[in-house]
């Protein structure tokens, strides 16, 4: 039982490049989330998916897109990376009890 | 807009002493979470508090919730080095049924001898 997995663990991009962060969970959870974590700012919600087939914007969605591929997988895409998107990205999932379980994170550096 | 405020943001603890972290939030909620994050690691769920007056304890950590005051506290008893980490509270507002959380900025705890 791996819980929530994320790939890659670390990525360096140049400004303007694109990339997709992958997230998968094996806990049969309906809801999945993408956060970014910046120093001193806690976690901020980028997008979430309440259930398979639905996605909604969170607090900081600009510059990102998401896809809920199936119940297990929720990907985050940066179409044209900017230095302001340098951050640590966490994926999380939750079930009926609503406690969110987090993946190990992806450290992204945009030059 | 829901606001979640933690204080202090940094806490230097001496081993063996007791300390409290406070979490205030601005809207009604009956569901509050505490998470722990070690440096460079992910977030680990510590407690979920589901109703007014709820108290949960695990080892040297005890969390409580006062929904009327919109306040949760995380109390650390006889601090030890292993408790050095950043602690986050997070609130699920009553208006949200899907489990979205608003996080506080976190309290960085450093325990020294």
Residues B38-93: pLDDT tens digits? 999 999 999 999 888 889 999 999 999 998 999 999 999 999 999 999 999 999 87
Cβ contact (<8 Å) for A94 and B99? Answer: yes
Map residue A84 onto helix, strand or coil: helix
Question: Which of A48, A90, A101 faces B100 most closely, judged by CB atoms?
Answer: A48
Cβ contact (<8 Å) for A104 and B31? Answer: no
Residues A66-78: pLDDT tens digits? 999 899 999 999 9
Closest residue on chain A to B46 (Cα): A99
Length of chain A (residues): 111
CB B90 within 8 A of CB B104: yes
**Would you say residue A40 has pLDDT above 80?**
no
């Amino acid at each position: 039982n791996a819980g929530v997995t994320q790939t890659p663990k670390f990525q360096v991009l140049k400004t303007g490049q694109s990339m997709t962060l992958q997230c998968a969970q094996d806990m049969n959870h309906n809801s999945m989330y993408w956060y970014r974590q910046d120093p001193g700012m806690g976690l901020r919600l980028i997008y979430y998916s309440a259930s398979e087939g639905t996605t909604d914007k969170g607090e900081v969605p600009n510059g990102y897109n998401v896809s809920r591929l199936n119940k297990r997988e929720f990907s985050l895409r940066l179409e044209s990376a900017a230095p302001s998107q340098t951050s640590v990205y966490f994926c999380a999932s939750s079930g009926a009890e609503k406690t969110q379980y987090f993946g190990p994170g992806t450290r992204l550096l945009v030059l | 807009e829901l606001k979640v405020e933690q204080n202090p943001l940094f806490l230097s603890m001496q081993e063996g002493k007791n300390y409290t972290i406070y979490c205030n939030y601005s809207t009604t909620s009956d569901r509050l979470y505490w998470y722990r994050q070690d440096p460079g690691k992910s977030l680990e769920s510590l407690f979920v508090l589901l109703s007014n007056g709820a108290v949960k304890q695990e080892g040297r950590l005890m969390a409580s919730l006062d929904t009327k005051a919109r306040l949760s506290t995380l109390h650390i008893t006889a601090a030890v080095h292993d408790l050095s980490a950043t602690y986050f509270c997070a609130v699920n507002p009553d208006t949200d049924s899907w489990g979205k959380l608003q996080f506080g900025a976190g309290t960085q705890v450093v325990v020294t001898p």
